[in-house]
Amino acid sequence: MGDIMGRRQTMQEKYKQQMKAYRKKRMKVENTPFLPPDGNVLVMDSLNPTKTLKAEVLKTQERQHRQVIIHLACPECNSPMDWDSNWEAFICTKHGKKSIYEIVSND
Ligand SMILES: [Zn+2]
């Protein structure tokens, strides 16, 4: 009997941990790069924030009835870039120096 109780507690503990991880993940998703309604994406080089550049959207995915940008072409070398949720930017490592492109809202 004590064994069953112990196992139930372990399951509860496991569930709680999973929920915690899930919530953390959801929080991270909050900074997801959504596609602007007009489809035009402007980015800014974080290390050289002097001008905005137009970036080509290569792939989007529908998430919660909104289009999320999955891959954006690097304005420098056209390589597909992935979103980095830690930087909250698209990162390119393909053209020598690492570039961090933040999305600029165009309004
Ligand atoms: Zn590049």
Question: Across residues 57-77, what is the average pLDDT?
Answer: 95
CA 107 → CA 8, 10, 55, 95, distances in Å? 53, 51, 16, 30
Q: What spacing in Å lies between the alpha carbon of 1 and ligand 1's midpoint? A: 62
Quote the CA–CA distance of 79 and 54 in Å, as a whole number: 14
Residue 94 CA, ligand 1 centroid: distance in Å = 5
- Cα 5 to ligand 1 centre (Å): 56
Q: Give me the pLDDT at residue 41, please.
A: 95
Say if residue 47's pLDDT is above 90.
no
Mean pLDDT of 1-17: 77
Q: Which segment of 26-30, 47-51, 71-75, 98-102 scores lowest on mean pLDDT?
A: 26-30
Report field, pTM of the whole predicted structure over 0.85: no
